[in-house]
Amino acid sequence: MTLLVTGGAGFIGSNFVHHWLAEHDELLVNLDKLTYAGNLGNLQSLAQDQRHVFVQGDIADTALVAQLLQQYQPRAVLHFAAESHVDRSIHGPLDFIHTNVVGTCQLLESVRAYWAALPADQQQSFRFLHVSTDEVYGSLAPDAPAFTETHPYAPNSPYAASKAASDHLVRAWHHTYGLPVLTTHCSNNYGPYHFPEKLIPLVIHHALSGKPLPVYGDGMQVRDWLFVQDHCRAIDRVLQAGTPGETYNIGGWNEKPNIEVVKTLCSLLDELQPRADGQSYAAQITFVKDRAGHDRRYAIDAGKINDSLGWQPVETFETGLRKTVRWYLDHSDWVSSVTSGAYRQWVDLHYGG
């Protein structure tokens, strides 16, 4: 039995690889292009694990994907590979269209050809699981109910639009060709191996480096926070018991304004690694110009996956955030390895130095 995972050297993908190999004795083939956010350091502890086969390559390389499918005969493909940072999509949307739309389409075609040639019983048990985002639903008013699986799509950034397009392709390949697909929409993830361009790891890294902690606008943008290992457990559950053609929203039931998240991080760092001068890290908070088209609020209603599959998050925001801060403090070498000159140039470009 074999799984093929795309994007398994990225943040969520690598956490899933670790989760799966800890819980299951099954070969896992990991295909990742190793762009800036893909990092073999995320998988270092698996270097001697013969159940993990890493292949560097692009999901849009149809010859390579076809070769891997034929060689390893996976029972499922889990599609994590994506360009995922809204800020980067504003600066360079075409990369997002190439990977998230064109790449997903070419991957679907490669998988469809493989699936169509399988014996009937293997066709029926095969799954293509597509990992998506709550951002495809757009922005919620402060008092609006949380996103359900039937909420209309209203993407507001190039990133969200590219993921919405990929969702529609996955749906179409199911309804047109019968490919047995599953789609998940997650809220904001956080946890180990998170590339420090996103809010939580960026704040931790900047705080410890003595740099300003940039907060967009008034900091009152609300997000629903999901500990990445809870997300991995949910994907595992959907793969095992989800109904083909169905969508499952995965959230942490943790709506927090960005400024509250930043202040909580500062308090944890004050406790776990105090500043030498005795001041709070909160003194480094700096409000910056708001992101273009910044969505005001996201919130996931995870009732469907709870009711139908029995999943719910284990971590509260407080326990998950403490584990996250502790991980970054204990893995300073990993942080140093990913915050290269190119990363610093990106931060300077986007936050104006």
Domains within the chain, CATH numbers bracketed:
2-191+227-253+294-315 (3.40.50.720)
CB neighbour list of residue 137: distance below 8 Å, 6 or more residues apart? 147, 151, 152, 153, 154, 155, 185, 298
β-bridge mates for residue 249, sequence order = 185
**pLDDT tens digit sequence for 37-52:** 788 999 999 999 999 9
The pLDDT of residue 155: 96
**pLDDT tens digit sequence for 123-144:** 999 999 999 999 999 999 999 9
Dihedral, CA atoms, 70, 95, 41, 4, nearest 10 degrees? Answer: -20
The pLDDT of residue 353: 47
The pLDDT of residue 341: 59
CB neighbour list of residue 217: distance below 8 Å, 6 or more residues apart? 287, 289, 290, 291, 294
The pLDDT of residue 35: 85
The pLDDT of residue 197: 84
- Residue positions annotated with a catalytic role: 134-135, 159
Average pLDDT of the chain, as a whole number: 95
**pLDDT tens digit sequence for 249-284:** 999 999 999 999 999 999 999 999 999 999 999 999
pLDDT of 10 strictly over 80:
yes
Q: Summarize the confidence of residues 12-26 as an average pLDDT.
A: 97
Helix (H, G, I), strand (E, B) or coil at 226: strand
Nearest CA-CA partner of 204 in 157, 155, 130, 269 = 269
**pLDDT tens digit sequence for 317-336:** 999 999 999 999 999 999 98
Q: Which residue has the higher pLDDT, 39 or 220?
A: 220
Both tokens of 193, joined, read 């191996």
Q: Summarize the confidence of residues 84-112 as an average pLDDT.
A: 94
The pLDDT of residue 13: 97
pLDDT of 165 strictly over 80:
yes
Radius of gyration from C-alpha coordinates of the chain: 20
pLDDT-derived band of residue 109, with 50, 70 and 90 as boundaries? Answer: very high
**What phi and psi, each to the nearest 5 degrees, are found at residue 191?**
145, -165
